[in-house]
Amino acid sequence: MASVLFDSIIYRDSWGTKEMRQIFDEKQMLQRWLDIEVALAEVEADLGIIPKEAAIEFKKKANVDLLDMEFMQKKYEETGHSLMPLLNNFKDICDNELGEYVHWGPTTQDIADTGMVMALNEAVQIIWRDIIDLEDSLMKLALKHKLTLMAGRTHGQQAQPTTFGVKVAVWLREVSRHIQRLEESMNRLLVINLCGGVGNYASFKGKGIYIEKNVAEKLGLSISDAPWHTARDRFAEFGHLLSMIGTTCGKIGNEVYELQKTEIGELIEPNAPGQIGSSTMPHKRNPEIAEALNGLSKVSRHLSSLISECMLVEHERDGAAWKPEWIAIPQICLVTGTILEKIKFMVEGLGVDESRMKENLGLLKGLILSERVMLALAEKLGKLKAHGIVHDIAMRFHNEGLDFKEGLKCRSEVAENFSDEEIDHLLDASTYIGQSEEIVDRAIQITEIERSKRGTNQRITIKNL
């Protein structure tokens, strides 16, 4: 049975998607390591460093299904070494003792780091696909509701009118900026590490930089500006980026959670068929997705912190620094994949109760327009004096239940400057939403321009490889 939720048969889909789990599956990791050794052997064989027959044999036998997992597990217990069990097993698979030429020159971390980068190249494609889809869904939602009136809230309290479209436009542009960050970071992230024991290519007979470049091309990776055994900023940056993506989604989830509360009831997340809210209260329709987004984003942030810890490295290599990445990086990718899957489903099926939004907008009986009234009165009396008058009336609303509109009419300073019709207009929320429509249109226009520049390619790639 699984000892962690990521591998639980029952709960694993709440913590990671199937396609993301497959990327970080143990056999996939071993296959990537074999692929690196094959690519290295082919380049070295072309240079005459190892026999061509060895490279041919490696390519023929580099299949994870030919490995003996039980043998490798026992060898690891015996040696305590991360890579030697694989190398010994692979050597035994190869004929004519050609396996003796495997792993000629690199160090274990070269293979592990490059294998992790290859895994991230696959994981990024899923993240890229899903975040692009999320951006598209948010564009449609913002456009649909750019004039949908609702109460804007600050410090948890109703503040002044806005539209739901503006709220979604803010989400949209935050997501779009993450897409830009993701694209910009690929040349820094998808980089081979193949430089030998202390990072100076000493074991490659003066051909190390050439070998690294050509192996990188075979693996579809970029080359490094310097060996990075001890420079873990690439992974830390990626971890922070996934944490930011997760936190943005967690924030959106929390907003849906808040606006879905019974007393507010402005939004409702979609319910999956057969979903049950409570084991004891049959009437409950709990915000399962919104809660999950918030919770998973917390996990994402803490995993990112662990990846950052790995930046503190001693000398030319330090296993205490980089091996925790083996836990944190796959898990943050799994969590991010789940977050994006959940938020896409939530946004695409999000219910918006426009009538409830309008009803809630009237809860303060016009008081939510106090700024507008104050600014209009300020043009007659001055800002500070107008603020004091409107504040006094507002406090009577809170303390005595005085109707705000009647309170305004009863004050001579207001009555002398505004007719009843003018006061009614000032208290019409639909005419005080600023440039909400323009905000949404601008956000969508900018996003569409960015999307057109990305083209129709559904993959994110290294530029200028």
Catalytic residue numbers? 155, 278
CA–CA gap between residue 72 and residue 26 (Å, rounded): 12
Structure tokens at 435: 């440039």
* β-sheet bridge partners, residue 351: 268
Tokens of 226: 């310097």
Amino acid at 216: A
- Are 49 and 205 in contact by the 8 Å Cβ rule? The answer is yes
Asked if 26 and 76 count as a contact pair (C-beta separation under 8 A), the reply is no
Q: Do the beta carbons of residue 142 and residue 349 sit within 8 Å?
A: no
